[in-house]
Structure 1
Amino acid sequence: KVYCIDNGIVNTMGFKISENLGSLMENLVAIELLRRKSYWFKEWEVYYWKNSQQNEVDFVVKEGLKVKQLIQVTYAFGKDEIEKREVKALLKAGEELKCKNLLVITWDYEDEVKLNGRKIKCTPLWKWLLSVSTSYDGIKRREG
């Protein structure tokens, strides 16, 4: 996937924000993951995941050979819409990549969804952006 370093550039290129908010959110998360990697989590590698059935997960965060977290980004509102659109791929990737740390970054919905014996944390974008302290969703930050 290709991301733009500045959402302002995307907006000036003629895209309408209302039609493209999910893409802008995903782009912002990509920029922030790379920022966090360069500042605190130097061992991170950030990928995306797609299988032969075209299920896709926006971000796979790895540290060495271990997948630390799977992240979906969506503008979806509410549990029903999130379960319908985002959860299937996240569960498939979690199973295939042996990762239990599943996160959906939303516009403003917050909850913990339990499906097929798996927990998926749903966090609003604003809260996720402010979440870095001594740890990040179970991932310990490296000091110095």
Structure 2
Amino acid sequence: FQNKNPFLQIFYRKNSHGEVGFILSEGKVITKLIQVSYANSKNDLKKREIRSLIKASEELKCKNLLVITWDYGEEQDEIKFIPLWKWLLEVEK
């Protein structure tokens, strides 16, 4: 991953509610929360991964939530699930 935006910062977050793999921000504004999972289906997703993403969303006031999976894609409630191969193709755009 090459950061083409010099103002974009990437962080990791871990606390008692769980962890979020990637927090993207531009300046002081958090623009996206990303979780990564090896899930092949909705049933493979671990509840703790989703729970920690939603909790971080509430605390950081960010509604742009993404879970990158091995091969599962769907938009559900406020979270977008996308397979890794598809996300990699979109990153280049």
Same fold (TM over 0.5): yes
C-alpha separation between the residues in 2 aligned to 1:79 and 1:85? 13
Structure 2 counterparts to residues 14-53 of structure 1, below 5 A: 32=1, 35=2, 37=3, 40-51=4-15, 53=16
Distance 2:25 2:75 in 1: 23
Residues 63-142 of structure 1: pairs in structure 2 closer than 5 A: 63-82=26-45, 84-114=47-77, 119-132=78-91, 133=93
Matches of 2:48 and 2:41, distance apart in 1: 11
Larger Rg: 1
Q: Residue 54 and residue 85 in structure 1: after superposition, are their counterparts in 2 closer, same or farther (change >3 A)? A: closer
How many residues are paired up?
Answer: 92
What runs of 5+ residues in structure 2 fail to find an aligned partner? Answer: none
**For each residue in 1:66-89, what CA deviation from the matched residue of structure 2 results, as whole angstroms up to 9, or x when unmatched?**
001000001022113325242000
SS in 1 for 2:45: helix
* Matched residue, 1:55: 18
Extract structure 1 runs of 4+ deviating beyond 2 A.
Answer: none
State TM-score, norm by structure 2: 0.91
Q: Kindly provide the CA deviation profile for residues 41-94 of structure 1, in whole angstroms up to 9, marking residues without a partner as x.
A: 11111001112x150000000100000100000102211332524200000011
Give the alignment's TM-score, normalised by structure 1.
0.60
Secondary structure at the aligned position of 1:70 is classed as strand
**Which has the bigger relative contact order, CA under 8 A and spacing at least 6?**
2
Task: For residue 39 of structure 2, give the secondary structure of its aligned residue in structure 1.
Answer: coil
Q: How big is the alpha-carbon RMSD for the aligned residues of Structure 1 and Structure 2?
A: 1.3
| More strand as a share of residues | 2
Q: Flag the structure with higher helix content.
A: 1
Identity %: 51
